[in-house]
Amino acid sequence: MTRFFVQNFGCRATQADGAALEAQLAGRGLEGAGERAEADLVILNTCTVTAEADNDARSTIRRVHRENPNARILVTGCYAQRAPGELSKMPGVEWVVGNSHKTSIAELVAGEGLPGSTLYHGQIVNGDIFETRDILTAPILDSTGDRTRPNLKIQDGCHNRCSFCVIPFVRGRSRFVDADQVVEQVRQLATKYREVVLSGINLGRWGREAGSTMRLADLLRRLLAETDMQRIRLSSVEPMDFTDDLLGLMAESSRIAKHVHAPLQSGSDTILRRMHRKYRPRHYADRLEKARKLMPDAAIGADVMTGFPGETDELFEESRAFIEAMPYTYLHVFTYSERPGTPAALMEGSVPVSIRKARNKVLRDLAAQKNLAFREQMPGREVTAVTIEPLGLALTDNYVKAQLDFPYTPNRLVRVMPVAVTEQGVRARVLSEA
């Protein structure tokens, strides 16, 4: 019996793909290996969002071949979709399978083969990602140790064409998991877990395809009505997809986490235009102000980028000042990385890497200040939380780690009272089960 090991790189969508792959392989009689070195087949499910992600994948391929030279290596994922020939030339790589054919990997490794593949040094199976309509999805649990909050991918692909981003070209068109299937998956998860996180490459576009009349808020209403899941949390949603309907529903339902994550990328109007983002700072501010008015204690976060081509000192300061004015409670700060094949990679005005990193630190420091100010308002204000691993920790409704006053059992929804601020979160007293 072939023993397999799947290693995932990058975002939660990739991790969800990997979980679905594992289920398909097990369904064909293959056995999962506990460690990479024990596997006959090693599947590397790659990311390609940055140059560092590519480097990480290549380094891992070399390491696997060195540590386990008899293992058959299959490389899939976003890097495999973007540059299959590059990966196929690496020693030890037997197959390179793009996202376009990821749903057929189980058949391929079972010896059934696939039509239309092309042989290089390894066997490349790749196609037009924009013709792909399938979605690989399975619930995943946090790889960092918390096994209490499953993440469920319900959407894949992206119609946007941000000038810095390669993802639409490796993930394809926006498509979504059918509402009935989502409801059934969440219903099953609710028998074991207290919280589920809904995610996607462009989650806010769920339902926005020809022939569909449902939107994300409509799906949430079905989940509230037809499942017993105690808490539903949304991952990242593009700012203009935070409609009044969606924000209103989030505010009125105690079962939807008060957590708004709306990618910004830049607070400079000029840079947003160069990025081909579909909103201006005033549009973005309107959505966050609406969210804060409806949910005064909500977590509000964003992805922001430093060092985009053409970002002068003045434009960076414009972005920094806008970010400072927004009601953020946390930020994910990224340094711009050129991606081959994207319009931004050919733009003039490249910012030196040292300046990109210095600006990154400025925004991370600002984010830390905002997060501390937010947490300092929490003591004395009751909030609900899901107890998580390791023992004695919980995650509040508004996305703050709470150190509990005793080692409460994980995977419970509780009412807590924050009593003090810690280095990264708060200390809290458990009041009762919620």
CATH number assigned to the domain comprising residue 268: 3.80.30.20
Residues of the chain below pLDDT 50: 115-121, 143-144
Bridge partners of 301, per DSSP, are 261, 330
What is the pLDDT at residue 282?
97
What is the pLDDT at residue 117?
43
Token duo for residue 98: 């793009």
- Please check whether residue 146 lies inside any domain of the structure: no
One domain, residues 155 and 35: no
Buried b (16+ CB within 10 A) or exposed e, 331-358: bbbbbbbebeebbbeeeeebbeeeebee
Q: Which of 83, 99, 130 is the last residue of a domain?
A: 130
What is the pLDDT at residue 115?
45
Instruction: Determine phi and psi for 375, rounding to 5 degrees.
Output: -70, -30
- Please check whether residue 328 lies inside any domain of the structure: yes
Task: Using alpha carbons only, give the angle 20, 6, 263 rounded to the nearest 5 degrees.
Answer: 65
- Please check whether residue 31 lies inside any domain of the structure: yes
Give the total residue count for the chain: 434
Tally of CA atoms within 13 A in the half-sphere of 338 that contains its CB: 13
One domain, residues 371 and 395: no
- Please check whether residue 142 lies inside any domain of the structure: no
- Please check whether residue 265 lies inside any domain of the structure: yes
One domain, residues 257 and 330: yes
One domain, residues 365 and 411: no
Among 70, 8, 60, CA closest to 38: 70
One domain, residues 314 and 347: yes
One domain, residues 180 and 324: yes
One domain, residues 367 and 387: no
Domain of 54?
3-130
One domain, residues 298 and 406: no
From CA 175, how far away is CA 157, in angstroms rounded?
Answer: 6
CATH number assigned to the domain comprising residue 86: 3.40.50.12160
What is the pLDDT at residue 146?
59
- Please check whether residue 145 lies inside any domain of the structure: no
- Please check whether residue 138 lies inside any domain of the structure: no
From CA 105, how far away is CA 123, in angstroms rounded?
Answer: 12
Among 430, 328, 330, CA closest to 386: 430
Question: How many domains does one find in the chain?
Answer: 3
One domain, residues 98 and 166: no
Among 336, 362, 332, CA closest to 347: 336
One domain, residues 102 and 219: no
> For residue 155, with 0-12 CB atoms within 10 Å meaning exposed, 13-18 middle and 19 or more buried, which class applies?
buried
Q: Which of 358, 376, 394 is the last residue of a domain?
A: 376
Q: Which of 130, 160, 178 is the last residue of a domain?
A: 130
- Please check whether residue 51 lies inside any domain of the structure: yes
From CA 225, how far away is CA 187, in angstroms rounded?
Answer: 11
Among 81, 89, 103, 79, CA closest to 8: 79
Please indicate, yes or no, whether the overall pTM of this predicted structure exceeds 0.85: yes
CATH number assigned to the domain comprising residue 398: 2.40.50
One domain, residues 100 and 203: no
Q: How many helices (H) and strands (E) does the chain have?
A: 13, 19
One domain, residues 77 and 217: no
List all residues 6 or more positions away from 315 whose beta carbon is below 8 Å from its beta carbon.
Answer: 268, 270, 271
